[in-house]
Amino acid sequence: MMTQAQREMACERVRRELGIDRVGTAPDAPVLRSRQSGAPARPASYLPVEAEIHGAQLYEYEIWGRPGLDLRTRSFITVAVLAALGRDDQLYRYINGALNIGITPEEIHETLLHAGVYSGLPAWENAVGVAGEVFVARGLVPAGSGAPVESKPAMDHEERRAARNRVVAALGVGRIGLGPDAPLLQPLPGNPFPAARPGRLSFEQELAGITADYGYGEVWGRPGLDLRTRSFITVSVLQVQYQNDQLHIHVNNALNLGIAPEALGEAIAQAGVYDGGSGWHNAMTVARHVFLQHGLVEGD
């Protein structure tokens, strides 16, 4: 844990590196205008309780300042979580911060699309609108002209299925390790079915196939983000939605990709800043069940 002095330094450093509420990271960078009024995004007289605000900022940026994850990964996680939660004003600020540290508009678009697989297409469409406001405020596009991202053609059925198979193999979905002979991931207590299971009803099998083709194929298979970043985004969005069975599967996928348990812990803490400590504890309980099966921790 950081000392008070270290917290203060981490807060100052991270806010400077992200260029919080500024268009750029230089000390004299223009102030980011708010979404509605055109006033600064965070006015000086925001609340009369400056001590409480400062304490909250120290907590927020102490997590951002921890060494276990770089700022880019933390930024991807934060944007995805805020999009999933529909926290539009904060999403506006942190999309701006992501651009300040060199994350591209295309990567922002991919992050929002990927988060939408797990939070729903309405959340994605809403977040795209917020991103467009940031792009206009920064002068990346004229008002009314759309996002500065080139549209990619949708995959056809064959491409989608090939991408799905490639991604599922790379993630080792439902198995502890990679390859068809890797042992099956055992489900969370209370769920009687393993992650990969035969015997689905016909309509269930069909809908599962459609979902997998779109999620693992159409979206995970796109080139705009690497699988590691997509894995962090997925775990974080499932965490804040308390989708424990799916979180269990995707924590396992992350380990199969080679993401260290410590890095997953940092991702869970980062998401917890914006969804609360109870979500953090819940997600770590789910993750621990996967860590046990990988032999990374000992049982009680």
pLDDT per position as a tens digit, 25-40: 998 999 998 886 665 5
Residue 1 to residue 251: CA distance in whole angstroms: 25
What does the block give as tokens for 61?
């940026």
Is the CB of residue 283 less than 8 Å from the CB of residue 272?
Answer: yes
Which of 198-202, 206-210, 222-226 is the most confident on average? Answer: 222-226
Instruction: Write the pLDDT tens digit of every residue in 144-187.
Output: 665 567 777 888 989 999 999 999 999 999 999 999 999 999 99
pTM comes to 0.91
Three-state helix/strand/coil letters over 183-219: CECCCCCCCCCCCCCCCCCHHHHHHHHHHHHHHHHHH
Query: Looking only at Cα atoms, what is the longest distance across the chain?
Result: 63
Could you give the CA distance from residue 201 to residue 106 in angstroms, rounded to a whole number?
Answer: 39
Contact indicator for 264, 300 with CB cutoff of 8 Å: no
Confidence tier at 202 by pLDDT (50, 70, 90): confident
Which whole number is the average pLDDT over 126-138?
A: 94
In one-letter notation, the amino acid at residue 98 is A
